[in-house]
Structure 1
Amino acid sequence: MTEKILRVDMDSGDVSFEDVPDEYDAYAGRALTSNVIADEVDPQCHPLGPNNKLVFSSGLITGTSAPSTGRLSVGAKSPLTGGIKESNVGTDFSQALKKLQIRGIVVEGQSDEYKLLKIDKDGVDLVSAEEWSGVGLYQAFEDLNSEFGDVSVCGVGIAAEISGFNSGIAFNDPEGMSTRYAGRGGLGAVMASRGLKYIVVDDADAPGVEIEDRELFKKGRKKVVDGLQEHDVTKPDGALPNYGTSVLINIVNEVGALPINNFSEGQSEKAEKVSGEKKAEEIEKRGGVNPHTCSPGCIIRCSEVWTKEDGSDPVGVLEYESVWALGPNCGIYDLDIIGELNRKCNDLGMDTIETGATLAVAMDGGLIDFGDGEAALELLEEVKENTALGKLIVNGAKFTGDALGVTRIPVVKGQAMPAYDPRAVKGIGITYATSTMGADHTAGYSICQEVLGVGGKRDPLEIENKTDLSREMQATTAAIDSVGHCLFTAFALLDIDEALEGVIEEVNGVLGTDMTVEDIPEYGMDVLKTEREFNKAAGMTKQNDRIPEFMREEKLPPHNEVFDVSDEQLDSVHN
């Protein structure tokens, strides 16, 4: 294949293209980002210092006509977890890179001033971006599209400029807004600390992705499309297209696993007010967009465009995790307030999961009251003003909780937990504890089996065989993140054998390889082993693979369960 790796030296301003090393032939997405970081970054380095690197890589089959493959991995040593990090996003930016035959971008060194990297079919330029420093990302993305035309944009906001450990990397949605995020792990601060503020990619007249065996690729593509259009969750009139990811609000609340008021309860009678069903009704009234794609070629279409009541100030998508984190977890049950909090996060460049967890911890610590949405908005304004209080909030839930003396801090490896309480869904708790990424539902989404009954129904409160389930899901996820398919394709892949076969045929068609379905777990486990070795060298031990003490002691209503998976069981996941 003719794909290249683009290396950007921020010290000298040099940019160069390199051949993909032989050992990376079958690596893209997460497999590439994690291997480059493991091979080139000192695990002991400071994440914001001169020796960290930032890596971007689209999936193996991203940029082709394979459905729902607009995925991009971003990797670095994380300032939030202190370990290796891959943060994943859906955006046409990923497709633009692959169409230009760029397998990955490696950013190294540090510049004293902010730069913008411009990439098109004619080459690469590194120019000043100082004029967009301190500008909100909605305005900055609008300016950049006006300046450079119809391009794909990536950038970091004010939260990253002030080195916030809770800062993500923003990418454009189909409307050009800064609403798609590689949000987790503080990688925005890593990008800003390199001196890189924006990347602009123009794929006009790009050569496109080379496909070694088009007939095999087309055969596999059809199987995947058929599977996605057949499965109840992903089909055109299914749950995700109709109600978006927030369809999970009512489902997870019913299970008793929806964290309320900083993980103090698992269920609320008010949750329906912010459900996917309620949100869909409001979007229709307001003239928003639903269903909607995060990137071209997505046939699941679980995204949307939320607006104010009069149809103004479009936010973009209100994902399940964002609605929960900024809503019920903070005692807030008003979609308009949640929408404004989400818009503020997008504009500042902050991860909504970490922000919601931080606000809830701050509420638990008495800084503001649970349910006070206006006070929560004011706290985020403190970030914009770079005050001492803003510095507290922008550095995440653990930093804030420690400063306020809060004992209920829902984090693993320094990263905030997503919207499933591990006391009520034991398998996802095992993934939170043992993932290389810190608390992360997407690292091994056992919610498929434990809550949705996809891939076989498993009782969420039972412990038996959940370590095996978590391990299998973590390995499968690492492989999917490397191929480039959206994680939500897993609903069809777990239930429909032909759809899973189709993915392998897509990959073999593009690469000219002879992989089989049986190779998927080994491929994923190789990625996990690489990541775990890095984390071990960075100083992590089995004690980092633990759920917070309060979850082992405090019973969670309504089931009154604790997280009772033993340390020995947790240690067995990767042994």
Structure 2
Amino acid sequence: MNKILRVNMSDLTCSFEDVPQKYRYLGGRGLTSAITCDEVPPTCHPLGPNNKVIVATGVVTGTAAPTSGRISIGGKSPLTGTIKETNSGGMAGQKLARLGITIVVEGQPREKGKFWLLKVDKDGAELLPAADKWLAKGLYETYPLLFAEFGEKVGIIGIGVAGERLMANAGICVNDPENRPSRYAGRGGMGAVMGSKGLKAIVIDDEGAPGVPIVNKEVFDTGRKKLVEALRTHDVTKPGGALNTYGTAVLINIMNEAGGLPTRNFSSGRFEGAAKISGEAIHEACKKRGGVGKTGHGCSPGCIIQCSNVYPKPDGTELVSVQEYESVWAFGADCGIDDLDVTGELIRLCNDYGVDTIEAGVTIGVAMEAGLAGFGDGKKAIELMHEISKGTPLGHILGNGAAATAKVFGVVRCPTVKGQAIPAYEPRAVKGIGVTYATSNMGADHTSGYTIAPEILAVGGKADPFAVEKAELSRNFQSATAVIDSSGYCLFIAFAILDIAEGFEGMVETVNGVQGTSWTMDDVTRIGQEIIRKERQFNQAAGFTPAHDRLPEFMKYESLPPHNTTFDVSEEILDQVYAF
């Protein structure tokens, strides 16, 4: 990172400034959270003039480090009211990193309803009026227009109609290697914050960019080789391994067997139609239908795990990329739908309208609970999604997420924490991930501390999913995750580095090689805890207390089939997570 680009939407100016010394060794989530804490008033309205959108690349993003193309986007969430970092793969991260720029978008246009486009390249940055043809349309129509205007090799960070309409479930979209609008910094509603700034898209052209300087190339190369070897030999991440062959949806059958696959708005932990929407079913459909269908697809250049897919229609033409675990579960098991063509269409609509698939699927599940559709009714689920695009009153309710929908329709079984939908692991059947959901600084978020690794997959050791003493486990995973999110690596490298010490060493060494630091593996915990502590201080100043670090009440008294368990982790244990 060489410069901070400040984009003032109030006076429509762009200016560059040197990076302060205190940010010198920060990247990704560490940087977005630091700037948010330093510059955003914790009590500000998320859609008001005092919130900001910070776009930062990880430390190793833009280098030859494997599977390192992530980009972080931060600010205050309109969905949760907490601090937020949401990240994405795709093309933008590496391009922005090679330009050496972190973007801070602040203020709001004086002309309400007016949208702009930010163009960034090696020569600087400028704001351009957004053409009418780019607005109020689906992103499958808008992105080709942008590529036609700016060239096929740019990276695009943009919002859909949900972001333009300031819906709290609006995500921020990044183009994939084939320029689909399919990679999302989806969670927390940061697309609405970008929309509130009047910013439709950021176009990044890295032609002639200086690239990412590496202070110690020998250390970097040594670390890169160690990490590549770990990723290529671990059963989960290697070529032909679980993720490469079946994608993240390989977890559908695994979680269903464990009785922890949330079904029909979290009323059960097992779905009778799981096999029909599994990673194995996706893999088989891609082979059988042929055409463009494929598994083992990469979401960004340099990814050697390649867990994405391109799902075909029956005639072999493309339906959507990507059908991944959380999205298939949200529209599948949680809505009682066992048809991949239906889940694929619902995911495609999320990509098109610019909303997070997890929040959208859980919202439809809540709507089904409210009687707006029957569980399993895929046709009606698609109709409900179209309401978001139409901008109807119902569309605005659904577009503001599961908690808003449950409140409007009086649904008691509302699976959210701090206003954000719980993802695809039932906390009554897997207690550690429940602790992470409850205590994460950013609302329910499995990626904040993925204890599923030891609890279900026996990666990084083996933990009993039903044991309640999980404060230390969740704390350690949350701290390590904060560092991975700051490094620019995909979180999926965790599978390999948890089991293979040399891989962990390699990750740290690549960071040291880029920065010229001498961090050790022991520093990972310290750095992660510093990031989490800073985020928690922001939330406390915004009015959050330990009482907000709790799961929904119904999970304490509704027993979950098939194990017939409740979430019985005590409040004392939950409060221990941040006792550091």
Q: TM-score range by the shorter chain?
A: over 0.9
Q: How far is 1:130 from its partner? A: 3.7
- Mapping for residues 85-96 of structure 1, pairs under 5 Å: 85-96=84-95
- Mapping for residues 279-428 of structure 1, pairs under 5 Å: 279-286=282-289, 287=291, 288-428=293-433
Q: Distance in 2 between matches of 1:305 and 1:10?
A: 37
Please tell me the residue identity of whatever aligns with 1:163.
L
Unaligned residue ranges in structure 2 (runs of 5+): none
**Equivalent residue, structure 1, for 2:129:** 128
Q: Distance in 1 between matches of 2:493 and 2:510?
A: 14
Match of 2:573 among 562, 569, 575: 569
- Mapping for residues 55-454 of structure 1, pairs under 5 Å: 55-102=54-101, 104-111=102-109, 112=111, 113-131=114-132, 132-149=134-151, 150-286=153-289, 287=291, 288-454=293-459
Q: Distance in 2 between matches of 1:235 and 1:481?
A: 21
Q: How far is 1:519 from its partner? A: 0.3
**How high is the TM-score relative to the length of structure 2?**
0.98
Listed one character per residue, the Cα deviations across residues 481-539 of structure 1 (whole Å, up to 9, x for unaligned) are 00111100000110011111111110111111111111000100000001000000001
Listed one character per residue, the Cα deviations across residues 407-427 of structure 1 (whole Å, up to 9, x for unaligned) are 000000000000001000000
- Mapping for residues 476-515 of structure 1, pairs under 5 Å: 476-515=480-519
Listed one character per residue, the Cα deviations across residues 318-374 of structure 1 (whole Å, up to 9, x for unaligned) are 110000001110000000000000001110001000000000001001111111111
Q: How far is 1:471 from its partner? A: 0.2
Please tell me the residue identity of whatever aligns with 1:405.
G
The farther-off stretch of 128-137 and 229-238 is: 128-137
Q: Is the 8 A contact 2:283 2:294 kept in 1?
A: no
Q: Secondary structure of the equivalent of 1:306?
A: strand
Listed one character per residue, the Cα deviations across residues 196-221 of structure 1 (whole Å, up to 9, x for unaligned) are 00011111121110001111100000
Q: Distance in 1 between matches of 2:314 and 2:181?
A: 21
Please tell me the residue identity of whatever aligns with 2:343.
I
**Equivalent residue, structure 2, for 1:42:** 41
Q: How far is 1:222 from its partner? A: 0.1
Q: Distance in 1 between matches of 2:533 and 2:311?
A: 40
Q: Secondary structure of the equivalent of 1:291?
A: strand
Q: Distance in 2 between matches of 1:529 and 1:290?
A: 39
Please tell me the residue identity of whatever aligns with 2:237.
T
The number of residues matched between the two structures is 572
**Equivalent residue, structure 1, for 2:532:** 528
Listed one character per residue, the Cα deviations across residues 30-72 of structure 1 (whole Å, up to 9, x for unaligned) are 0000000000000010000011000011100100000000001
Q: Secondary structure of the equivalent of 1:262?
A: coil
Listed one character per residue, the Cα deviations across residues 180-233 of structure 1 (whole Å, up to 9, x for unaligned) are 000000100000000000011111121110001111100000000000001000
Please tell me the residue identity of whatever aligns with 1:420.
Y
Q: How far is 1:313 from its partner? A: 4.2
Q: Secondary structure of the equivalent of 2:320?
A: coil
Listed one character per residue, the Cα deviations across residues 4-34 of structure 1 (whole Å, up to 9, x for unaligned) are 1111001111111111110011111000000
Q: Distance in 1 between matches of 2:185 and 2:316?
A: 27
Q: Distance in 2 between matches of 1:402 and 1:567?
A: 25
Listed one character per residue, the Cα deviations across residues 436-467 of structure 1 (whole Å, up to 9, x for unaligned) are 01000000000000000000011111113x11
Runs (4+) of structure 1 exceeding 3 A deviation are none
Q: Secondary structure of the equivalent of 2:312?
A: coil
**Equivalent residue, structure 1, for 2:546:** 542
**How high is the TM-score relative to the length of structure 1?**
0.99
Q: Distance in 1 between matches of 2:157 and 2:319?
A: 19
Q: Distance in 1 between matches of 2:148 and 2:91?
A: 18
Unaligned residue ranges in structure 1 (runs of 5+): none
Q: Distance in 1 between matches of 2:317 and 2:296?
A: 18
Listed one character per residue, the Cα deviations across residues 232-280 of structure 1 (whole Å, up to 9, x for unaligned) are 0000010000000000000000000000000000012210000000001
Q: Is the 8 A contact 2:432 2:465 kept in 1?
A: yes
Please tell me the residue identity of whatever aligns with 1:110.
Q
Q: Secondary structure of the equivalent of 1:487?
A: coil
Q: Secondary structure of the equivalent of 2:144?
A: helix
Q: Distance in 1 between matches of 2:123 and 2:286?
A: 42
Q: Distance in 2 between matches of 1:308 and 1:270?
A: 20
CA RMSD of aligned residues (A): 0.8
Q: Distance in 2 between matches of 1:517 and 1:269?
A: 43
Q: How far is 1:289 from its partner? A: 2.4
Q: Secondary structure of the equivalent of 2:465?
A: coil
Q: How far is 1:146 from its partner? A: 1.1
**Equivalent residue, structure 2, for 1:474:** 478
